[in-house]
Amino acid sequence: MPPETSIQGNLEERPHFPSAVRSFQRTATRRAHSQPNFHDKYGNIILLGGATFCASTWFYIVTQGGIEWNLSPVGRITPKEWREK
């Protein structure tokens, strides 16, 4: 018997090769050649669009929202006069 150039053909000719492995190889081959679904086509675009929307919304809130963040009390608090008893 001449040596096979294809690994797939050589494995399938061997009678003791498990059929589960052949089935798995066929399924993997079918899935590799299938049509791309919605997530394959548009998944990254939707992810980037959502991240951009989220970042821009938070940027607007932080810079233009008018929220008083009170990050530092410097200049806002005046010391009280000491009382001597």
**pLDDT tens per residue, range 41-68:** 999 999 999 999 999 999 998 889 887 7
- Whether the Cβ atoms of residue 4 and residue 13 lie closer than 8 Å to each other: yes
- Whether the Cβ atoms of residue 4 and residue 10 lie closer than 8 Å to each other: yes
Dihedral angle sign, alpha carbons of residues 30, 34, 37, 41 = positive
What is the rounded average pLDDT for all residues in the chain?
76
Q: Has residue 2 got a pLDDT over 60?
A: no
